[in-house]
Amino acid sequence: MTDLSHIHRFVPGNRHEAAPLLLLHGTGGDESDLLPLGQSVSPGASLLSPRGQVLEHGMPRFFRRLAEGVFDEDDVRRRANALADFVNDARKRYDLPAPIALGYSNGANIAAAVLQLRPETLAGAILLRAMVPLSDAPTVDLAGKPILIVSGQSDPIIPASNSQQLAVRLAKAGADVQHRTLPIGHQLSQADLTVSQEWLRGIELTKDAAA
C-alpha cells in the first residue's frame, strides 16, 4: 500500500478484542519482516507494518544515524512525528484503535521516540533491543501506558546502562515499564517471542479484569 505516507502492509485481524500491533522493523528490514513475529506474539491481532523512509546504503531505517548508536536527533524528531501522523491516518483508513508498537532495534528506537514526542499515538509498546533515542526528550505524560523493554545481556550495540536509562525515563514519565534482560546479544531469539507473548497476555487479562 502506498497512498498513505509510508509504504506498508496491513493484515486485518479476526480477534477484535486484541490491540492492533504496529510493527517496526530493524535496520535493513522492511514491511514484511516482522509479520510472522506479530502473528506469533498476538495471534488474530490486526498488524500494521510500515517501512522506514530513510535509506542507509540501501537499507531502510526509521531515522538517520551519524554512527552506530549515534543518532541525528533532529531527524529522529521529524521522522517520529511523521510516523505518528502515518499511524493516525492508517487508524482512520483501517478503523483501528491505538496500536501497541512492536519494534526491533531501530524500530524499537523510533517507537521510544514516538512515546516521548507523541504519546497518544500508542496504547503501549514492546521494545526489543531499544536504546535512548533522544538526549533531551520533552517531559511527557505516559501515565499507565504498558511498556516492555527486552534487552540482550551481551548486546554489542547497546550498553546495559543505556537501555536501563531508557527504562528509567519512561517509568519517570508514568509508564508501567517492565524491563527484561535475556542472556543473548542483539539478535532476536525465541525467548523474545515468549516474553512478549506472556507480557501481552498479562495486559489483556488486566484489561479484561478492569472491564
Q: Considering the complex, what minimum distance in angstroms separates the CB of residue 152 from ligand MLT?
A: 12
Stretch that binds ligand MLT, among 10-18, 102-110, 111-119, 165-173 (CB under 6 A): 102-110
Q: Which of 55, 66, 143, 157 binds ligand MLT (CB under 6 A)?
A: 157
For β-strands 124-128 and 146-152, DSSP reports them as parallel
46 binds ligand MLT (CB under 6 A): no
Determine whether 105 is an active site residue: yes
CB 12 within 8 A of CB 44: no
66 binds ligand MLT (CB under 6 A): no
Sheet of 8-11: strand order equals: 8-11, 47-50, 21-24, 100-104, 124-128, 146-152, 176-182
Q: Cell 508501567 sits at which residue?
A: 176
Please identify, using beta-carbon distances, which residue of 143 and 157 lies nearer to ligand MLT: 157
Stretch 110-129 residues interacting with ligand MLT (CB under 6 A): none
Q: Considering the complex, what minimum distance in angstroms separates the CB of residue 143 from ligand MLT?
A: 27
Contacts of 37 (CB under 8 A, 6+ apart): 23, 102, 104, 188, 193
Determine whether 189 is an active site residue: no
Q: Which of 27, 49, 116, 196 binds ligand MLT (CB under 6 A)?
A: 27
Alpha helices per DSSP H over the chain: 35-41, 73-94, 106-117, 160-172, 190-210
The residues of the shown chain that bind ligand MLT, judged by CB under 6 A, are 26-27, 65, 68-69, 105-106, 109, 157
